[in-house]
Amino acid sequence: MVSDGAKGETGTGRAGGSDGAGEAAKAGDAGEAPERQGLGSRAPDFVRSRRVLHLSWQVGVFVVGLAVVGAGVVMLPLPGPGWVVIFGGMAIWATEFVWAQLVLRWTKRKVTEAAQRALDPEVRRRNIALTVIGLVIAGILLGFYVSEYGFTTPWNIRGR
């Protein structure tokens, strides 16, 4: 029992030490690099203060996030919002794991950059021109097919 108490105090001390570092990091957020601001566990304080409970919390978050990411991966070839679900699972992981927070920040930055590039007038004109060219080519191919075979599906065409 005494050793358990010592472990409990040591475990609490470690978690408390990490909380103290987290508080110091929060206080120093203004001077930190933007990619490091606000990183870390978002578990409630009473969970973080108990080592075993915090580890159990992390395992639970990991398992739930893994299930959501797995469902998203399954949805990629099947009907469903695969990428949205995968990023939802990453967001679940990001509530507890720094690596997931960094991946989500990187993804948000890249999506924002892509959206800004897509809204650039020059890029929009190019994309519209390429779309029109693609539609014209598809229309020509469709017109050729209909003139040659009529409105018959490709699998019902008899060899000539």
Q: Do residues 111 and 129 share a domain?
A: no
Question: Does pTM surpass 0.85?
Answer: no
The 8-class DSSP code of residue 141 comes to H
- Supply the range of the domain harboring residue 42: 2-119
Taking the CB of residue 87, how many other CB atoms lie within 10 A of it? 20
Tokens at residue 125, please?
């004109």
Helix residue ranges per DSSP H, 28-120: 45-48, 51-75, 82-94, 98-119
Q: Say yes or no to pLDDT of 123 above 60.
A: yes
Q: Do residues 14 and 75 share a domain?
A: yes
12 vs 94, more confident: 94
Q: Do residues 101 and 148 share a domain?
A: no
The 8-class DSSP code of residue 154 comes to G
Q: Do residues 160 and 111 share a domain?
A: no
Tokens at residue 16, please?
């408390």
Q: What is the crossing angle of helices 98-119 and 121-149, to 10°?
A: 80
What's the pLDDT tens digit per position in 50-98? 788 878 888 888 999 999 999 999 998 888 888 889 989 988 888 888 8
Q: Do residues 54 and 131 share a domain?
A: no
